[in-house]
Amino acid sequence: MNKAVLALSGIALVIATTAGAQESIDASMIARIRAEGLQHSQVMEVLDHLVNVIGPRLTASPAYKTAVDWCRERLVRAGFDNVHLEPWEFGRGWQLEKLTIEMVEPRYQRINVDAMKRSAVVMATVLYDAAMRDAMIPRSSGK
C-alpha cells in the first residue's frame, strides 16, 4: 500500500512540474518569422550564385575558396559582427582541367568523356562500328 501511494505521489509531482514549465506560444512572433521567410527570402539568390556563377566546389579547390570568400563577404554585409574563417588541415586540393581517353587498339579512336565530381565514375560516349565490335567481342562457336 505504501509503495502504491509513493508511486502515485511521484507521478503527480512530475505532472505538476512539467505542466507549469510549458512556454506560451507567441503567435505574433511566429507570424513575423513566417512573413520574413516568405516575403524577404534570399535563398534562391544565394543558391543561384553558388550553383551557376561559382559552380562545383571540390574541397580545397579554387572554386571552394571563391565560394567561402563570397559567403563571408555576404554575411558581413548582412550585419553579422564576428564572421571569420577558421583554418583546418585538408591536404592537397585539386581541380580537373583536362581529361582525355584514347583507344589505340585495334585502331585509334578518341573517346568523349566526362568525369563526375567526387567519384571514380567516368561517363564515356563510344561510337563504334561493326568492325570494331567484331575486334573487341570474340565470336563464340557452337550452340
Query: Cβ distance 49 to 63 under 8 Å?
Result: no
Name the pLDDT band for 141 (thresholds 50, 70, 90). low
C-alpha cell at 17: 512540474
Q: Express each pLDDT in 87-123 by its tens digit.
A: 888 777 666 677 777 878 888 888 777 666 555 555 5
29 or 137, which is more confident: 29
pTM for this one? Answer: 0.48
User: Distance between CA atoms of 16 and 90, rounded to whole angstroms?
Assistant: 53
Give the CA angle between residues 96, 105, 120 to the nearest 5°. Answer: 30
C-alpha cell at 82: 564576428
Name the pLDDT band for 143 (thresholds 50, 70, 90). low
Query: Cβ distance 102 to 113 under 8 Å?
Result: no
Q: Express each pLDDT in 46-92 by its tens digit.
A: 999 999 999 888 788 888 899 999 999 999 999 999 999 988 887 77
The DSSP bridge pattern shows strands 122-125 and 109-115 to be antiparallel
Residue reference for cell 507549469: 20
pLDDT of residue 111: 76
User: Distance between CA atoms of 69 and 51, rounded to whole angstroms?
Assistant: 15
C-alpha cell at 72: 563571408
Span 7-15, mean pLDDT? Answer: 70
User: Distance between CA atoms of 109 and 2, rounded to whole angstroms?
Assistant: 91
